[in-house]
Structure 1
Amino acid sequence: MKIAILGAGAVGCYYGFLLARAGHAVTLIGRPALVEAVRSDGLVLESAAGRETVPVQATASGQGVAGADLVLVCVKSGDTEAAGATIAAHLSPSAAILSLQNGVDNAERLGAVLGRPVVPVAVYVATEMVGPGHVRHNGRGDLVLGASEASPTIAAAFDAAGIPTTVSDRALDALWGKLILNCAYNALSALTQLPYGRLVQGAGVIAAMTDVVQECVAVARASGVSVPDDIRDTVLALSTSMADQRSSTAQDLARGRPSEIDHLNGYVVRRGAALGIPTPANRMLHTLVKLVERRDRA
């Protein structure tokens, strides 16, 4: 397949690497520094297996999606509409479009811009950018792919590339599950700059995370979303399976970049307000991260 990846950050570069290594023609669409690095030295993956490099195409232009059979959208949630506008005129009519983004409403928002269906994908991977064109894999890598006509074929290609993929008509439930994980960890990891394993060892942290999870569950269920009864256990287990991972929000704040907090804890706060459900723990985390972002822009 010819595959374009819009938003070649840690997630996009990781999956782009695996797909390119499997023989697919991959084009990364990202910042100029990434484009220069990839064109010069290839795309680098650092993992428990060692360090590998694959050649891929790279561009800073939305025209990079032209002719693609599959487009993976991996931009930050706040950039969804703008990113959609950059590629709309260049998409093949037959291209399948996947949203590999945090948050629960990106596929819907992107589809509204493009005027065509976008398949939601829940992503479970721990990655970080070490430098331009150099991604480090810290754990997992599996996907839950929303149901569509093309989904079984896409899932088979992903599986063959070493990306465990499940097709589900309950992808929204999976996205909410991922949102709850992010709401519990991202802001706390960002504010402390601690990885998950050390984070949960702090006094009162597990109790605070439990408050966040309970609020998220109440909002999700009031929205008609099915959330497992043991979601808190799933959340806490992440501190073991991804003990060395810092959240994407932590990485954003460390680099002085805007985070996705408005689409994580902030989304829960807004949705809770619309439903009449109090969300004080999520509101506090959202407020604190926004204050740090404001301080860093001053």
Structure 2
Amino acid sequence: MRIYILGAGSIGSLFGALLSKIGEDVTLIGREEHVEAINNNGLKVVGVEEFTVYPKAVTKIPSELPDLVILATKSYSTAYALECAKESIGENTWVLSIQNGLGNEDEALKYTKNVLGGITTNGAALERWGVVRWVGKGVTIIGNYPRGKGKFAERVVALFKKAGLEAEISENIVGWKWAKAIVNSAINPIGAIIEVKNGYILENDHLLALAMEVVKEGCQVAIQKGIE
């Protein structure tokens, strides 16, 4: 499968490396420094697994049409990234968002009806240019957006499993996207404001109570919007 990773940061680089390792035709699109390091020395994964692969890496999106575009940019860059990639999104190209946040898939629907939503709980960090640390294994859940599952989603799940990722398919990917967004909203901002690691919040009764209040409020919003 020809796959473009649009946004070769930590998660994008991890997924690109794993898919490249099993022989898929992967092209990483990222920052110049990262691209240069990959082209010179390969893309190295450390942590959970340790290996080096040599995928294609570029700063500009190729004109050839891929089978799959994996969106892995920050959410605030989604609209710009898709506009840059529009000539590479063909009639049979699918776009999969594995980003945090809500609304990224809606942006993708402006360019194609072939949209998959996704979440991942794999932990990754870009240690330095050309090196990504796989911090911890998690699960990746995808599904047709906004609802349902189809043959291509099943192909992608099978591909992820072959690459060593725990992967599942869901008919209600919007619900999963909201669930992760609510959890993130309860943990990440508190950790940033208090300047502590996320795990500390779970160990501190006062911070945990605050986080649970944020979760409750997020769930109330989801219910009002009809999210299951």
TM-score (norm: length of structure 2)? 0.92
Runs of 4+ more than 6 Å apart: none
Counterpart Cα distance in 2 of 1:60 and 1:93: 24
- Structure 2 partner of 1:162: 164
Amino acid at match of 2:141: V
Residue segments in structure 1 that go unaligned for 5+ positions in a row: 227-298
Q: Percent identity?
A: 30
Does residue 106 (structure 1) correspond to residue 104 (structure 2)? The answer is: yes
In the TM superposition, what is the alpha-carbon distance from 1:91 to its structure 2 partner?
2.4
Q: Which amino acid letter does the alignment assign opposite residue 92 of structure 1?
A: G
Report which of the two has the higher share of helix: 1
Match of 1:269 in 2: none
Deviation at 1:96, TM superposition (A): 1.5
Find the counterpart in structure 1 of residue 135 from structure 2: 138
Q: Equivalent residue for 1:185?
A: 187
Residue of structure 2 in register with 1:17 after alignment: 17
Structure 1 residue aligned with 2:146: none
Please give the secondary structure, in 2, of the residue aligned with 1:199: helix
Letter of the 2:177 counterpart: L
The answer to whether the 8 A contact 2:124-2:135 is kept is: yes
Give the RMSD, CA atoms, in angstroms. Answer: 1.5
**2: CA distance, partners of 1:2 / 1:193:** 41
Structure 1 segment 192-207 matched on structure 2, within 5 A: 192-202=194-204, 204-207=206-209
State the SS of the aligned residue for 1:62: coil
1:168-222 C-alpha deviation (Å, 9 max, x unpaired)? 1100011111111111111122234432222333451011101100100100111
> Counterparts of 1:1-298 in structure 2 under 5 Å?
1-49=1-49, 51-63=50-62, 66-112=64-110, 114-146=111-143, 147-202=149-204, 204-226=206-228
Q: Secondary structure at the match of 1:150?
A: helix
1:63-110 alpha-carbon deviations (Å, 9 max, x no partner)? 2x6232111011111111111100101223212210111112210122
Take 2:19 and 2:194, find their aligned partners in 1: how far apart are those partners?
34
User: d(CA) in 2 for partners of 1:25 and 1:141?
Assistant: 24
Secondary structure in 1 matching 2:122: strand
1:115 positional shift: 3.9
Partners of 2:91 and 2:112 within 8 A in 1 = no
Larger strand percent: 2
